[in-house]
Amino acid sequence: MTKLYKIHYPSPIGILEIIGTTEAITEIRFMSDEEVESHQPNTPQPDLPLVVKKCHTELAEYFTGSRQQFSVALAPQGTPFQQSVWQALLDIPFGQTSTYLAVSKRINNEKAIRAVGQANGRNPIGIIIPCHRVIGSDRTLTGYGGGLWRKKWLLEHEKADIIMSKQLRLKGLE
């Protein structure tokens, strides 16, 4: 069994738990309120791998505005279909958005819009695999595991094309 290493990053939108192996990042997730309440001060494991430290640094750079692209090695676990969707998400440039339909076309499966949405929702490496950049065809912000307010925050942080549009609407938050 592969050993997993964890470190926490106190981002402006909540504490992120970074999980990885000696080779790659396997998960970045928002910690729940309950987890945060019981959260002990971040004492990194003494043998924390370079890739996990690098991810922590790159996230800090992203949140301070000095990084637009990540270079840390990733190893998300999922089905071949999910992997294809997550790979397509990596092609959405910083500051831009795409739609579920466009992603389904990108993976050559135009009829898989719902499956693309489900794969997007199961993305284990949020922010770095930018599922927050996928919006509805009607330009609404739909679905985000970390909450729509975080999705909106991330897009505003990136000054994404949709934020510049006056058509921005939050489904369920209007």
Taking only the tens place, the pLDDT of each residue in 91-142 is: 999 999 999 999 999 999 989 999 999 999 999 999 999 999 999 888 888 8
Catalytic option among 59, 85, 116, 131: 131
pLDDT value, residue 49: 95
Mind listing the domains of the chain with CATH numbers?
5-64 (no CATH), 80-170 (1.10.10.10)
pLDDT value, residue 169: 47
| Residue of higher predicted confidence among 111 and 33 | 111
- Global pTM? 0.87
Report d(CA 99, CA 104) in Å as an integer. Answer: 9
pLDDT value, residue 13: 95
Buried b (16+ CB within 10 A) or exposed e, 37-74: eeeeeeeeeeebbebbbbbbebbeebbeeeeeebebeb
Across the chain, what does the average pLDDT equal?
A: 88
Respond yes or no: is residue 131 known to be catalytic. Answer: yes
Q: CA-based angle 20:25:31, to the nearest 5?
A: 70
